[in-house]
Structures are given as structure tokens and as C-alpha cells.
Amino acid sequence: MNDNPTITRIDYDDPRSKAALDAEQRLFAHYGLEYKVHFVEMSEPNLRVRVLEVGAGQPLLMVPGGTGDALFFAALMAELRGWRMIALNRPGGGLSDGIDHRQVDVRRLAINTLRSVADAFELDHVPIVCNSMGGLWSFWFALDSPERVSKMAQMGCPALILNTSAPFFMRLLGVPGINRFIAPKMKPKSIDTVLDGLRFQGSSQEDIDRMPKAAAEAAYHFFQLPTYLDTWITLVSAVATLTGGNRRYQLRAEQLQRVQQPVLFVWGENDPFGNLRIARQAARIIPNAKLHEMHTGHLPFLDKPQECGRIIREFLSEEIQ
């Protein structure tokens, strides 16, 4: 892999960045949440990760999926009061520096990113709440540094688990030429339509209609950032092919058998990334895992944040055997 990957620095004076920051503040205010912003400087690769800190109490590390925008955890954070929630924005998302995922070892990037954030916040043994690509990153970190992770709440199908992959239309982003035609269609045209894309992730129209306008505004403005489309294209190109997940990065049964931590899967029956058969199989393979099935899509914390918050609170409060 390239030792000098292409990195996109965020210009905070860019009107798009300012609009995104304003929308993020309105979203968190909607849920009555105050947050602090931190920046973690990484050395390998040399990029800056933006981290949101919400609340006080025992620390909880949160790792988002998709392009890595932590703002989508806002509704869940409102259900997890009493924890000191440390939500990182993965490279390319949430105003963290962007990176060309095709030029790096994505697994090494994941481990280095989570370790850098854990070191910066002195998280020696911390539970993780995560989703999708963030779920894969968290499994990698837990396998590499088991002493740093106490337990994991995996919301939605973790990326590339047990031979799963992204839906076909998303895998087309990894096809050179075709991706440049498809990618612009992923950028929303308006605030009023931005949440419509959640239907492709299994969310019901009823659940989408319940989401606040502030969520749509934040999503719209973060999806206008210059790193958004590049992150989708380079990430999907790196981890998936037209026929399925990149074998190099797949999370196989023999790896899941080595997971030492208690794991809670919170999995929607309409998850297009992996069905409940996969969920039940994963829960059987991991030595200390359980499954909570929900009537949601790939993003249960957006579809039904109250139920998701309740089951995660119960899991986090359980004593580790």
C-alpha cells in the first residue's frame, strides 16, 4: 500500500463546512444535548480526526457506519444519558480529514484510528457502540487489542461479516467509470428529500416521517461536503467488488470465534446488508453474544432510538462474567 495516501484537509472557512457545523449544532440542540469538539492528530496516516464528546460518567466509545458521520448518533445519545459518550467521525466523515481508502490497508487504518482516539481520551478498557462499517472497525480493534475493549453493542449488520456485502447498487460505486456516474446521484437534491435514501437501508416510511427536520438538515449539509462522495467511492472500492466483499477484509467465522468480549447484536429484520439468518449465525459463533431482533432496517438507532437505547442501556449495565 502507498505510504503517502491522498489526504483531503478540511477547510473550516468553506461555506459548506460552516453550514454543516451550524446544522450539527441545531440537531444536538433539538435533543437537548451539549457537546464538545476535539481533534485527534494521527501519525499513521497523518490526518486529523474530529471527535464529539457528549455527557458525563463512565466513558463509551461510539463508532459510526456509512461515511463515518457521528451526528447520526444524536437521537441514540439522548437515550444514553449518564454516559460520557465519545463519538469519533471516521476519516472522510463528520469534518474529519478525508482519505483515499484505496491507497491504505483499511484494517490498519481502522485499528490505528480507534487506538489513537482511545489513547487521546485515556480509554484503557471501554465499551463500544457501533454500526455497519464502524462495527467492522470495532471488531478489528477488539481482536487486535482485546484488553482495550470491554464489550460491544453492534447495531445493524457489521460490514462484511460472514460473507455479507453491500447491496448491489452500492457495490457499483467500486466499478471505475460507473462510479463517477452513480456517485452524484447519492448526493441529495434538497433537505426535504435527503432522508428518502433511508428506504434503501430498510427504514420504513413511518420511521422516516418521525425523524426531526433537524436530522434532515444536518444530513443534507454534511452530504454536501467535498469529502462525502470521495469517501463513498474510495471506501467501497477498497472493501468490495462487484460480486461481493473484498476477501482481504471479510470478517469470517474463525475470527468471530476469537472475540473475547460480550457482544450485543441489535439487528433489524429489514437490514439489506445482512438478514436475520446471518445475525443468528453470528450470535452462535461468538462465545459470549446475544441478539436483539427489531422491526427496523440497517440503522435501528435512527428508526427506533428509544427501543435501541433501552436494550443498549441494559447491556451496558450488565456485569461482565
pLDDT at 172: 85
pLDDT at 1: 55
Question: Mean pLDDT, to the nearest integer, of 312-319?
Answer: 94
Task: Tell me if 264 is assigned to some domain.
Answer: yes
Cα-based torsion angle of the residue sequence 77, 83, 89, 94 in order, rounded to the nearest 10 degrees: 40
Task: Tell me if 2 is assigned to some domain.
Answer: no
DSSP state letters, 190-215: -GGGGGGGGGGGT--HHHHHHS-HHH
CATH number at residue 165: 3.40.50.1820
Task: Tell me if 317 is assigned to some domain.
Answer: no
Mean residue pLDDT across the chain: 95
Task: Tell me if 135 is assigned to some domain.
Answer: yes
Q: Is 221 helix (H, G, I), strand (E, B) or coil?
A: helix
DSSP state letters, 133-174: HHHHHHHHHHHH-GGGEEEEEEESPPTTBTT----HHHHGGG
What do you get for the CA distance between the two ends of the chain, in Å?
A: 41
Residue 321 scores a pLDDT above 60: no
| Total of domains in the chain | 1
Between 176 and 308, the higher pLDDT residue: 308
Range with lowest mean pLDDT among 39-48, 165-174, 240-249, 310-319: 165-174
Quote the CA–CA distance of 110 and 130 in Å, as a whole number.
13
Q: Is the dihedral of CA 276, 164, 6, 1 positive or negative?
A: positive
Q: Mind listing the pLDDT tens digit for each residue in 227-269?
A: 999 999 999 999 998 889 999 999 999 999 999 999 999 999 9
Task: Tell me if 36 is assigned to some domain.
Answer: yes
Task: Tell me if 304 is assigned to some domain.
Answer: yes
Q: Which domain holds residue 85?
A: 7-311
**What pTM was computed for the model?**
0.97
Which of 17, 156, 150, 26 minimizes the C-alpha distance to 89? 17
Residue 204 scores a pLDDT above 60: yes
Using pLDDT thresholds of 50, 70 and 90, give the confidence band for residue 220. very high
Residue 144 scores a pLDDT above 70: yes
Residue 99 near residue 7, CB atoms below 8 Å: yes
Residue 257 near residue 287, CB atoms below 8 Å: yes
Query: What percentage of the chain carries pLDDT values higher than 90?
Result: 89
For 258, counting Cβ atoms within 10 Å of its Cβ (0-12 exposed, 13-18 middle, 19+ buried), the class is exposed
Quote the CA–CA distance of 174 and 242 in Å, as a whole number.
7
- Give residue 266's Cα distance to chain centre: 14
pLDDT at 174: 81
Task: Tell me if 321 is assigned to some domain.
Answer: no
Cis before 45 (ω within 30): yes
Quote the CA–CA distance of 156 and 278 in Å, as a whole number.
11
Beta-strand relationship, 240-241 and 263-268: unpaired
Task: Tell me if 318 is assigned to some domain.
Answer: no
Q: Mind listing the pLDDT tens digit for each residue in 59-109?
A: 999 999 999 999 999 999 999 999 999 999 999 999 999 999 999 999 999
